[in-house]
Homo-oligomer: A and B are copies of this chain.
Amino acid sequence: VSLRDFSNPKSRRTYLEKETGCDLSPIANVSYESDKNVHCENLIGVGSIPMGVAGPLAFDHGKKVFFPLATTEGALVASISRGCKAISESGGVVARSSYHGQMRGPVFEIDSIDEGLKLKKWIEENKALLQETAAMTSSHISYKSAKVKIIGSNVFVRFTYDTDKAMGMNMVTIATEALVSLIELNTKSRCVAVAGNFDIDKKPAWLNSIDGRGYEVWAEAVISKSVLDTVLHTTAIQVYKTWLAKCMLGSYASGSLGYNSHFANIIAAIFIATGQDPAHVVEGSSGITICEVRRDDLCISVNIPSLQVGTIGGGTNLPTQKAAMTLMGIDGNVLPGTFAEYIGGAVLSGELSLIASLSTRSLGSAHKTLGRNKA
C-alpha cells in the first residue's frame, strides 16, 4: 500500500491516521469565526493552502516520517516524495542538529569609543546578573552569551538565549527589554532600539550563515547506483556535475547566500503546515547542498545554518497546525531539535529530487504535467 493508491484526501487521511496514530480531522475543514485564541487582529476568516503529504522518509534511528506540505506549486509534493523514496531505499538519512539559541540584538548609543569599550566590558563581566535578570522574565528562557560590535556611536549587542521548546522571538524581546533596562541603570549608555538588526531576524545575512541561529541542521545520505538508476533515472556523476554548476558556481555568479537548489520551497511548505513563522523561510533559504561521488554512489548532504522552529507557541497552537505536527510524530512535549532534523531530512529529499531531475532535463515536463489544471 502506498499514498499513490488513494484517490482523495479523506482516504489518504484514514490511511495516515492508521499508520501514525495521529488525528487529521482538523485539516478536513477549517474556519476561524471567533477572535478567541487567534493571534491575528481584525480577523476576517481563514487563509488556506492545500496540504499534501510526502514520505515516509526513513531515518537512521529507525523512525519513518511523513511530511505535511502546504503548497500550491504543482510537482513539489511529488518531487519530495520521490526524494524520500530514493533515500529510504538507500538506507535512510542521517540528520543531526545543534542549537545556537535565539537572539535579540539591541543597539545602544554611546558618546565615544571609550564608552563603547566600557559597555562591552560591562556586559562581559556581568554575565551572572544578566542571567538572573533574563530568568525573571520567563521560566522558559535562559541567557547564554553576547556578541558585541562597536560602530561609530553605536554598540550592537547580539544577546543569545535558550528558549526551550519555543522558537522564542517574543520571549527574547521581553527578556532583552529587561536586560536593556539593567544596562541603562548601570552604565551611561542609552538604548536606541531593542531590535537593532544584529539579531538578525527575517532578513538574509551572512552573520546567521556563519554563526548559526536557532537550529543548525545537517542531513546526509548515500544513494546507491541502483537507486539512482531505478528511482531517479540518473547517475552519480550526472547529479554531481549539475550540482557543481548550479549550486556552487551559479550561486557564486549571483552573489547568493543560498548555495542550494530550493531549500525555501520545502521549508515554506512545512512551516506553513505546522505553524512556524512563514517569514522565517528567509533564514531557511540560506544554506548549502553538497554532493560527492563515492565509487558509483552519490553522497549528498545539506547544511541549514539558521532554522527557526518551535514545538510550542506561535501558530503551533492552531488546530490544523497541531494536526500536521502530529502527523510527523511531533508535539509540544518534544524539543525542536528533533523537529528540525526531520525538516532537514525533507529538505535533503527535495534537493536530491530536483537536482536529479535537472540532471536528466525533465524539469519542464514535470511542471507541465503537474502544474496545470486537471480535468
Contact of A334 with B by CB under 8 A: no
Contact of A364 with B by CB under 8 A: yes
Q: Which of A126-134, A224-232, A255-263 contacts B (4 or more CB under 8 A)?
A: A255-263
List of B residues within 8 angstroms of A192 by Cβ: 241-242, 245-246
A37 to chain B, nearest CB (A): 5
Contact of A182 with B by CB under 8 A: no
CB–CB A152/B278 < 8 A: no
CB–CB B204/A285 < 8 A: yes
Contact of A268 with B by CB under 8 A: yes
Interface size on A, residues (CB 8 A): 158
Cα A302 to Cα B195 with chains together (Å): 19
CB–CB A40/B74 < 8 A: yes
Contact of A187 with B by CB under 8 A: no
List of B residues within 8 angstroms of A30 by Cβ: 29-31, 46, 48
Cα A193 to Cα B24 with chains together (Å): 39
Instruction: Point out the residue from B27, B48, B209 that lies within 8 Å of A44, measured CB to CB.
Output: B27
Contact of A45 with B by CB under 8 A: yes
List of B residues within 8 angstroms of A206 by Cβ: 206-207, 210, 254-256
CB–CB B260/A203 < 8 A: yes
A247-B197, A281-B281, A364-B194 given; A42·B113 CB < 8 A: no
Contact of A59 with B by CB under 8 A: no
Interface centre among A44, A75, A194, A324 (most CB of B within 10 A): A44
Contact of A136 with B by CB under 8 A: no
Contact of A91 with B by CB under 8 A: no
- Nearest-neighbor residue (CB-CB) of A152 within chain B: B290
Instruction: Point out the residue from B39, B117, B260, B279 that lies within 8 Å of A74, measured CB to CB.
Output: B39
Against B, the Cβ 8 Å flags (1 = close, 0 = not) of A10-40 are 1011001000000010011111111111111
Contact of A139 with B by CB under 8 A: no
List of B residues within 8 angstroms of A125 by Cβ: none
Instruction: Point out the residue from B12, B46, B76, B203 that lies within 8 Å of A285, measured CB to CB.
Output: B203
List of B residues within 8 angstroms of A191 by Cβ: 361
Contact of A70 with B by CB under 8 A: yes
Instruction: Point out the residue from B41, B282, B292 that lies within 8 Å of A78, measured CB to CB.
Output: B41
Contacts A27-B45, A152-B303 aside, 18 further interface pairs with beta carbons under 8 A come to A9-B44, A36-B375, A38-B50, A39-B373, A40-B72, A73-B277, A107-B250, A152-B292, A156-B250, A193-B359, A194-B363, A196-B250, A197-B246, A197-B251, A199-B254, A252-B252, A258-B282, A268-B281
